[in-house]
Amino acid sequence: MIAFRAGKPGDVEEMAALEARATAHPWRIGQYRDSLLAGHLCLVMTQDDTVCGQAFAMLVLNEAEILNIAIDPTHQGQGWGRQLLDELLTQLRQFGAHRVFLEVRESNRAARSLYQHRGFVETGLRKHYYPTATGREHAILMEIQL
């Protein structure tokens, strides 16, 4: 059974391991700790008490930015990312967000498609933003009005 809960410092190692499995350029453990200490919204998705997804967002007044979102690779392509994103947007709305921003790797077509299907629109481009194994790639900027 899938459940959602607030992330806590004791989740940091499990979240870091999950993202390391999901992406070639994960956050470092210190970034997770710093984000939690800064008071950012951290949403953890669990199945049988095992972390299988996570999302971090920063809320400033009535705007939010999704900082990090990841689903364990064993659950990708099964609608889990959609469920996590929907729950995150619901919580951001409850905290007063009217607009949500994010950036996504240009090469991450699955994530871009998910965001577009949930109502995000592309608003810009940050050239050479993300590191890759062979150089840099662009970030696509997206936003949604809640």
Catalytic residue, chosen from 19, 65, 103, 143, is 103
Q: For residues 1 and 49, what is the distance between their CA atoms, to the nearest angstrom?
A: 9
CB proximity list for 139: less than 8 A, separation 6 or greater: 103, 104, 105, 106, 125, 126, 129, 130
The answer to whether residue 103 is catalytic is: yes
- The answer to whether the annotation marks 62 as part of a ligand binding site is no
Whether 122 sits among the annotated catalytic residues: the reply is no
- Tell me if 110 is assigned to a ligand binding site: no
> Which of 19, 65, 115, 130 is an active site residue?
115
69 appears as a binding residue in the annotation? yes
Is 3 assigned to a binding site?
A: no
Describe the chain by its helix, strand, coil percentages, rounded to 5. 35, 40, 25
Annotated binding site: 69-71, 108
Annotated binding site for acetyl-CoA: 69-71, 108
Q: Which residues are part of the catalytic machinery?
A: 103, 115
